[in-house]
Structure 1
Amino acid sequence: MEDLSRLSFNQMTAGKAPLREVIDACSRQGIEWIGPWRHSIGDNPAEWGKTLRDSGLKVSSLCRGGMFPAATAEERRKRIDDNLRAIDEAVAIGTDLLVLVNGPSPDKDIDGARQMVADGIAAIVDHAEQSGVRLAIEPLHPMFAADRSVIVTMSEANALAELFRAGSVGLVVDVYHVWWDPEVYRQIERAGERIFAFHVSDWIVPLPDTLMGRGLMGDGVIELQRLRNAVERAGYTGPIEVEIFNEALWSQPVGEIARSVAERFCLTV
Structure 2
Amino acid sequence: MNRLSLNQATTRSWSVAEAVDGCARAGITGIGLWREHVAAQGLAESAKLVRDAGLTVTSLCRGGFFTASDPAERAKALADNEKAIAEAATLGTDVLVLVSGGLPAGQSDVDGARQRVVDALGSLAPVAAEHGVRLAIEPLHPMYCSDRCVVSTLDQAVDIASEFPAEQVGVVVDTYHVWWDPGVYRAIERAGRRIASFQVADWVTPLPEGVLLGRAMIGDGCVELRRLREAVDHAGYRGPIEVEIFNQELWDSPGGEVLELMVARYREHVL
TM-score by length of 2: 0.96
- Aligned 8 A contact 2:215 2:245 in 1: yes
**Separation in structure 2 between the aligned mates of residue 17 and residue 170 of structure 1, nearest angstrom:** 29
Q: CA deviation at 1:56?
A: 1.1
Aligned to 1:151: 151
What letter matches 1:82 in structure 2? D
SS in 2 for 1:226: helix
Show the counterpart of 1:170.
170
1:15, 1:247 within 8 Å by CA — same for their partners in 2? no
Equivalent residue in structure 2 for 1:21, among 18, 23, 26: 18
Alpha-carbon deviation of 1:207?
2.2
Q: Please list every run of at least 4 consecutive aligned residues from structure 1 whose deviation after the TM superposition is greater than 6 angstroms.
A: none
Match of 2:53 in 1: 55
Give 1:35's match in structure 2, choosing from 24, 29, 32: 32
> Of 93, 100, 103, which residue of structure 1 is paired with 2:101?
103
Unaligned regions of 5+ residues in structure 1, if any? none
Question: 2 CA distance for matches of 1:51 and 1:89?
Answer: 15
Inter-partner Cα distance in structure 2 for 1:190 and 1:15: 33
Deviation (angstroms), 1:18: 1.6
Match of 1:220 in 2: 221
Matches within 5 A, 1:1-269: 4-42=1-39, 44-106=42-104, 107-209=107-209, 210-269=211-270
Q: What is the CA-CA distance between 1:71 and the residue it aligns to?
A: 2.9
Q: Residue deviations 1:188-240, cap 9 Å, x none? A: 00000000110001011222242102111111100111101100000001000
Please give the alpha-carbon distance, in whole angstroms, between the structure 2 residues aligned to 1:230 and 1:214: 21
**CA–CA separation in structure 2 for the residues paired with 1:42 and 1:200:** 25
Q: CA offset at residue 168 of structure 1?
A: 1.1
In the TM superposition, what is the alpha-carbon distance from 1:17 to its structure 2 partner?
A: 2.1
Cα distance in 2 for partners of 1:87, 1:134 equals: 9
1:258 Cα offset (Å): 1.1
Q: Per-residue CA shift, 1:13-66, capped at 9, x if unaligned?
A: 012322211111111000000000000111732221111100111100000000
Deviations 1:135-170 (A, max 9, x none): 100000000001110000111101000000011111
Identity %: 53
Deviation at 1:185, TM superposition (A): 0.4
Larger relative contact order, structure 1 or 2 (CA cutoff 8 Å, min sep 6): 1
Contact 1:60/1:97 (CA < 8 Å) preserved in 2?
yes
Structure 2 residue matching 1:241: 3-state secondary structure: strand
Distance across 1 between alignment mates of 2:45 and 2:13: 20
SS at match of 1:65: strand
- Secondary structure of the corresponding residue to residue 95 of structure 1: coil
TM-score, structure 1 as length reference: 0.97
Question: How far off its partner does 1:6 sit?
Answer: 0.5
Unaligned 5+ runs, structure 2 = none
Of stretches 137-146 and 250-259 in structure 1, the one that deviates more from structure 2 is: 250-259
CA separation in 2, counterparts of 1:88 and 1:188?
29
* Paired residues of 1:11 and 1:22 also in contact (CA < 8 A): yes
User: C-alpha distance in 2, partners of 1:112/1:91?
Assistant: 31
Deviations 1:65-91 (A, max 9, x none): 000111310110010000000000001
* 1:79-118: CA deviation from partner (whole Å, max 9, x where unpaired): 0000000000001111011000110111211111101100
8 Å Cα contact 1:97-1:134 kept in structure 2: yes
